[in-house]
């Protein structure tokens, strides 16, 4: 663990932040993607919650066009002992398609495109047929859905709500700005790693919390090794394929940056490759 805060390393600091969350918020959910950062965050949260006799929920948006190993890892995370509810979302959400000028967006899990789906619908997922969210409309943007879910969750459970997000500021300037510019946001009790969520220009009683914001890629893999945490095996395959730990990304494959790694599917999961190619318009 590299960074030091007086006598604290980043692992100790993250555990302290998680303890603050469980001590001060009435309900907590963690947003996970199946990637290394959110995976480490939620497994650390489970350890802290177990010691404090607390429960939490998990929020996962299934983007359909994902690595098989990512979904297998999500199934592993579902077994964490302190999870109350796991919201596995497989709704027709609009996503960026940067590989086509004719189809700039595509809709995952769209019933009309079922024959092109990269994977079968997960059995326990929230989908368009069992959708509990009255506000949802087909083709909603990913970011819009996340805010609406936060508002729905707070109204369901009441009180102060924390949403744990596993982003690290060393990955991008935008992520750094999310944490750093304190004069542009409302924080919880002046903790700089928290941001009150705004919906339609009005703040709701939900705070995004970033317990591992100051970690590096080395810290993530150091924690996996030191604490014997579970991890998405696709990272192992990426590393063996020559992708450094600083360049490994897991997102929907057709985004502006993600398209650069689209050919990784060909090398790492060849059986998924043809489905990925045929899923969206690539003209």
For the chain, domain boundaries = 4-279
Which regions of 33-151 does DSSP assign to beta strands (E)?
A: 56-61, 83-89, 94-96, 105-107
pTM metric for this prediction = 0.92
pLDDT at 177: 63
Angle between helices 36-52 and 217-226 (to 10 degrees): 50
Architecture category of domain 4-279 in CATH: 3-Layer(aba) Sandwich (3.40)
pLDDT at 252: 76
pLDDT at 102: 87
pLDDT at 265: 87
Backbone angles phi, psi at 244, to 5 degrees: -70, 165
Q: Does residue 159 contact residue 27 with C-beta atoms inside 8 Å?
A: yes
Q: Does residue 183 contact residue 51 with C-beta atoms inside 8 Å?
A: no
The pLDDT tens digits along the chain (283 residues) read 455 555 789 999 999 999 999 999 999 999 999 999 999 999 999 999 999 999 999 999 999 999 999 999 999 999 999 999 999 999 999 999 988 888 899 999 999 999 999 999 999 999 999 999 999 999 999 999 999 999 999 999 999 999 999 999 886 656 566 665 666 789 999 899 999 999 988 999 999 999 999 999 999 999 999 999 999 999 999 999 898 988 888 777 888 777 777 888 888 998 898 899 899 987 7
């Amino acid at each position: 663990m590299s960074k030091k805060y007086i006598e604290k390393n980043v692992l100790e600091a993250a555990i302290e932040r998680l303890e603050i969350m469980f001590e001060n918020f009435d309900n907590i959910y963690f947003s996970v993607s199946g990637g290394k950062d959110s995976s480490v965050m939620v497994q650390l949260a489970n350890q802290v919650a177990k010691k404090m006799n607390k429960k939490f929920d998990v929020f996962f948006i299934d983007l359909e066009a994902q690595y098989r190993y990512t979904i297998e890892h999500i199934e592993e995370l579902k077994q964490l002992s302190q999870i109350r509810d796991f919201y596995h979302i497989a709704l027709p959400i609009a996503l960026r398609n940067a590989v086509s000028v004719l189809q700039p967006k595509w809709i995952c899990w769209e019933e009309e495109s079922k024959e092109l789906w990269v994977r079968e619908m997960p059995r326990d997922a929230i989908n368009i047929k069992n959708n509990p969210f009255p506000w949802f409309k087909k083709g909603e943007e990913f970011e819009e859905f996340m805010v609406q879910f936060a508002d729905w969750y707070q109204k369901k459970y009441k009180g102060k709500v924390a949403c744990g997000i596993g982003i690290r500021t060393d990955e991008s300037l935008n992520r750094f700005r999310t944490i750093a510019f304190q004069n542009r946001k409302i924080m919880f009790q002046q903790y700089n790693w928290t941001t009150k969520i705004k919906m339609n220009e009005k703040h709701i009683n939900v705070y995004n919390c970033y317990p591992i914001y100051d970690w590096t890629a080395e810290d993530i893999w150091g924690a996996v090794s030191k604490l014997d945490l579970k991890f998405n095996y696709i990272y192992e395959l990426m590393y063996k394929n020559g992708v450094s730990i600083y360049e490994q990304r897991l997102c929907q494959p057709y985004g502006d940056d993600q398209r650069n790694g689209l050919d990784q599917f060909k090398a790492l999961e060849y059986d998924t490759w043809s489905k990925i190619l045929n899923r969206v318009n690539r003209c």
